[in-house]
Structure 1
């Protein structure tokens, strides 16, 4: 199987909410599969990474909220394409403070969603490098998510262009 050596960029969203003892994170299943992952996708030409992250959260996970423009990290993995080749993907992860769950969304019949404590979700995800990123976020007791929340309450936020759903 052919593997392209140059990494291809993808964008993911880390949907989260604060709880009494830390944070909960939303995971979704892969299309038609049982692998747990974050909402992610390819940034189309001309669209910036932040807008792509917001779109993926809404389409794949059915959540909207306030997205921070600074990533909380990144991870890499090899993706097998339908055409029979593999690409090495570098995924940049943006935090999304969830404000609303949609009752109906684009991929609701193709995916499941599940909330879990930040400290627990690393054991659930399909990709080893994503698990490492989530473990790192939990190891610092959610400091990067707290920093994102502080910034979201301030000015470094990419506000959602829609005001009502």
Structure 2
């Protein structure tokens, strides 16, 4: 009985749209090396990837690309399928949880001036450095998943 239950059980559950966000994983390949772009969160100053709400009348990936533009000042093609997801606190005390789907974005343009420039820092890092800087290990695992594509 337990075997049958576990065989059909899935930890992924459908959650309300307001409990779901999207993020971008901005990346570039220079001289055969993958680098990812990290930004600081406004609230804690921790290194993260750009993320936010799904905008009305926009797809999830389009919303993620908009977050990358507003929060990191980068533009480029974004994939339509997320590379991974993670769960994080969505309010100041972290008591409300939100699932964030992360979409890879190949950076073609990095702006010198963007909407949240005065509120955030940005930093290009190779994946091993990104893993050390990202406080949430799930974000590091998502960066590693992207790196595996480039072997």
TM-score, length-normalised on structure 2? 0.79
| Conserved 8 A contact 1:68-1:95 | yes
The structure where strand makes up a greater share of residues is 1
Cα offset, 1:135, TM superposition: 3.6
Aligned-partner Cα distance in 2 for 1:85–1:78: 4
In the alignment, structure 2 segments of 5+ residues that lack a partner are: 1-14
Structure 1 residues 85, 127: CA separation in 2 closer, same or farther (over 3 Å shift)?
Answer: closer
3-state SS of paired residue (1:122): helix
CA distance 1:107–1:70, shift in 2 (3 Å): same
Cα distance in structure 2, aligned partners of 1:23 and 1:50: 21
Cα RMSD (Å): 2.1
Aligned residues: 135
Any runs of at least 4 consecutive aligned residues in structure 1 with deviations exceeding 4 A, and if so which?
Answer: none
Determine the C-alpha separation between the residues in 2 that align with 1:123 and 1:38: 14
Tell me the distance in 2 between the aligned counterparts of 1:38 and 1:51.
Answer: 15
Q: Is the 8 A contact 1:32 1:111 kept in 2?
A: no
> Does structure 2 retain, via aligned residues, the 8 Å contact 1:22–1:118?
no
Unaligned runs of 5+ in 1: 1-5, 148-165
Alignment of 1:52-67 (within 5 A): 52-67=63-78
Q: Structure 2 residue aligned with 1:118, among 107, 123, 127?
A: 127
TM-score norm. by structure 1 comes to 0.73
